Each structure stands twice: as C-alpha cells, then as structure tokens.
Amino acid sequence: AALEVRTHNGSIDFQRQTAGGSASVTITKKAGGTNQEDAEEALAAINVIVEPAGNGKTRISWKWSVPKKARWCGDVSFVIRAPGSLHFDAETHNGAVTVAEASGDVKVVSHNGKVKVRSSNGKLHAETHNGEVDATYAGPEVNVLSHNGEVSADLSRCGAVAGSITTHNGAVRVAVSKNTAATLTCRTHNGGIDCDAPLSESQKTRGELTGKLGAGGPSLNVVTHNGSIRGKSTAG
C-alpha cells in the first residue's frame, strides 16, 4: 500500500506496472576504497534493509553494517517496479529520482539531482535542492520546488488544483488546459512573465500576474526569485 525508499548516494527509479504484473526491486550497490581489497571490504559492509514502517508501509534503505572507515565510499541505487495504486515516498541526498505513472500520494526529494515525476490521483510533492524538476500531474494538490534549477509542471490533466510551483534560481514553465481550474498568482523578482493561457479577472503589474484559470477555485502560486515564468495553454 505504501513504500518509503531512502539512500544517501544513488538514484531511485519507480515505475508502476499494469494490474496483475509482478513487483520487483532491483538494488545496485557500489563501493570504493584506496585499493581493491579496501573496496571489496566496503562493498561487503553495505547492508540493505527492508522493514515494515507501520500503517502498511514498507521501508527500503541501507546502512553500513560496521563503523564506516574514512576511506570508504558507498552508492546504492534502487529500481522499483510495482503494480496498482501505491503511496510512494523517496529521498536521496545525491542522485536523480524518476517516477513514472504513480497513482496515489507521491513525495520525492533529491538534495543534489534531477527529479522527474508523472503521477495522478493523490497529492504530489517534488523537490530538489540543486537540479531541475520536471513534473506531469493529474490531481488536486501539487507542490514543486527547486532551490537552484528550472522547474517544469504540466498540469493539463488537472481539474481544480491547488499548490505551489517554485524555484529560487531558474525559469518556471507551467502548462494548463481548458479543464484546469485555479486562482493563479505568478510572481518573479527578476524576470518576465509570459502567459497565453486564458485568464479571467486578470491583473498584471511589474513582476506579478493574477487571474482565474477556468472556473477559478483554489490558490495556485507560481514563483521564481531569479528567472522568467512561462504559462502555456495546451489542448488537454
């Protein structure tokens, strides 16, 4: 019902299988040291843990089975294939996170790496501290954040949607359709705002654009501190 994945160094790749398909987790462990023997010792010390985390959640993570030597380094990546609806929570400190066709609540975080996610039905939280975020989403609540990097959010499959799409340094691109409904606020401190999506009750001042998408509704905030904002209307 729910899966939590944690790695310090390594990528995380999730793809939802069709109903009736088999679930699998492929784990790749890499280790290094000052020489071959040292690296093999480090590799043997990487311990992958699969354990229940309460409320039907399973946690997959890793740790050193013995005190880590200063000369050791380790990298553990996960490729997950799972059928059906699943609440998915993944975090890596150094690596990319990719999620394809998740159905349910999704939370994905990379401290240093690109985040790419396609999800529906549940809430979405996609964040990286350093890197790009590319999100395609169909659901009620979205929060997409990059501290340093461009952000792209395709909300053309959404109906009423609330949340925020933010980067501190980088451009923001947002795609909507005639079905997307929200009270939109776009704001940039240093950059332009270009929006060809039809807005009602729109107002535009230097660095800010507000208006209603579709029938209006919940607040959707699009913000960059240093960069431009581009809003695009698609067929949807």
**CA-based radius of gyration for the chain:** 20
Q: Are strands 208-213 and 199-205 parallel, antiparallel or unpaired?
A: antiparallel
> CB 148: neighbour CB atoms within 10 A?
15
What is the rounded average pLDDT of the residues 208-235?
A: 94
Q: Each residue of 27-50: pLDDT tens digit?
A: 999 999 999 999 999 999 999 999
Which of 111, 104, 105, 82 is closest to 13 using CA atoms?
82
pLDDT digits (tens, 9 = 90+) for 69-96: 999 999 999 999 987 688 999 999 999 9
Assign residue 155 a region (left: φ > 0; alpha: ψ between -120 and 50; beta: otherwise). Answer: alpha
pLDDT digits (tens, 9 = 90+) for 100-136: 989 999 999 999 999 999 999 999 999 999 999 999 9
The DSSP letter of residue 96 is: -
Residue 34: φ, ψ to 5° = -75, -20
List, for residues 51-66, the tens digit of each pLDDT value.
999 888 999 999 999 9
Mean pLDDT of 225-232: 95
The pLDDT value recorded for residue 31 is 98
- For residue 236, is pLDDT > 70? no
